A = this chain, B = another copy of it.
């Protein structure tokens, strides 16, 4: 089984392929929106190219371009060309400075923010340590605001210059209604988080599950630029999943699909932080490893220790030959293989991307795990390719910012509609 590990230091200026939206199928989105998204994806394009690409008449593109130019959202640029024949071609490009958005990833240890211009280029990045324990919505809001201010200062901007914000966080997040039904970061249940944040920050705020946003980041400036269908599995504080079918994020009927971490891998199994037993993440996520780490390390059970440090110690011990430490990773690896085999059996993806902090522990995605995944799957002769994308937190935040950009584009188009 070949695994390809992709080194994923994100490029400073990605050509953001924000084409495929989440909500409507590509064909049903207003043409204005499709024109803007096409320009964002391609960087620049002539009217004729845009018309050809979107399979509409050049006249309709010309009319829309006129309106978007008048509104200051796009501009004409003359590109010199080799041949001396004819007029130099005129390309359309987005006006970068017309709008600015922010994206934030909230997590158990570090919160991360990024600010993008209208074309999707990164203007600033920032991060702050998270509160140690799960907190109230008010406390989370205060942390978010502090982080946002830090990123704005980095960009030399004021908050009122932002056109929108999107936030990704772990848990059962209802994107449509902007509510957090349950999150490991929050004490409250069913918190009306987007509305709370909007009221405090004075900005349009979109909320989403963090794995969905990492999947959107892959769709928009990662694997999705070459692939229309793929699955993404995140392994860090929990286990998440995103699925792209036909260039679109699959969300399920109520927006709660892809909770791979809470699929059951054992009846009456290990206790999960969701309160149920036998969930995949109760065997694979970092809190599952931590649960047994203290035993393997002979550490004081009462001692409060940073999770990343503890796991690093555990990993080093396993590498050094500590059998108990090795067995923790081996068992987690077998359950991960089982979870991945179930993804293969149900979705038959041609590509599975493994991502998130935990995947840096090679043991978890070692060849043995991949071999076991294959052994547990029906033999079709088409095992999916598995890639390990060692993205940092910043890419999750970029996924959030891309969502903010997409929501902004929808609003702008909505305003323009007759």
Interface residue? A294 (CB, 8 A): no
Give Cα A265–Cα B264 distance, bound, in whole angstroms: 7
Stretch at the interface among A10-18, A116-124, A144-152, A379-387: A379-387
Q: Which residue of chain B lies nearest to A227 when distances are taken between CB atoms in the complex?
A: B253
Assess the A253–B350 pair: CB atoms within 8 A: yes
Task: Give the contact stretch, choosing among A301-309, A316-324, A337-345.
Answer: A337-345
The one of B182, B254, B382 in contact with A382, judged by C-beta atoms closer than 8 angstroms, is: B254
- New A-B contacts (7) at CB < 8 Å, excluding given A181-B380, A241-B346, A342-B342: A256-B348, A256-B382, A257-B346, A264-B265, A264-B338, A266-B266, A278-B376
Q: Is A255 an interface residue (CB 8 A)?
A: yes
Expressed in whole angstroms, the Cα–Cα distance for A377 and B256 within the complex equals: 11
| A62 is an interface residue with CB less than 8 A from chain B | no
Is there a chain B Cβ closer than 8 Å to A205's Cβ? Answer: no
Question: C-beta contact mask, A130-168 vs B, less than 8 Å → 1, else 0?
Answer: 000000000000000000000000000000000000000
A345 interface neighbour in B259, B345, B348, Cβ under 8 Å: B259
Per-residue contact bits, chain A 248-268, to B (CB 8 Å; 1 contact, 0 not):
001111111111101111110
A residues 330-355 in Cβ contact with B at 8 Å: 334-335, 338, 341-342, 345-350
Q: Give which listed residue, B172, B252, B263, B381, contacts A342 with CB less than 8 A.
A: B263
What residues of chain B lie closer than 8 Å to A377, measured between beta carbons? 262
Instruction: Assess whether A411 is interfacial by the CB under 8 Å rule.
Output: no
Chain A interface bracket (under 10, 10 to 19, 20 to 34, 35 or more) = 35 or more
**Interface membership of A276, Cβ < 8 A:** yes
Residue A246, interface by CB 8 Å: yes
Q: Is A7 positioned at the interface, with any CB of B under 8 Å from its CB? A: no
Interface of A is mostly: loop
User: Does A378 have its Cβ within 8 Å of any Cβ on chain B?
Assistant: yes
> Are B378 and A348 in contact, CB atoms less than 8 angstroms apart?
no
| Interchain CA distance A245-B349 in the complex, whole Å | 16
In Å, the complex CA distance between A259 and B245 comes to 18
**A245–B229 alpha-carbon span in the complex (Å):** 14
**Nearest opposing residue in chain B for A268, CB measure:** B334
Report chain B residues within 8 Å CB of A253: 229, 348-350, 382, 384
**Contact flags (1/0) for A270-307 with B, using CB distance below 8 Å?**
00001010100000000000000000000000000000
CB-nearest residue of chain B relative to A383?
B254
Structural contact, A254 and B338, CB atoms closer than 8 A: no
Q: How far is the CA of A328 from the CA of B256 in the complex (A)?
A: 33
Q: Please, which residue of chain B has its CB at the minimum distance from the CB of A181?
A: B380
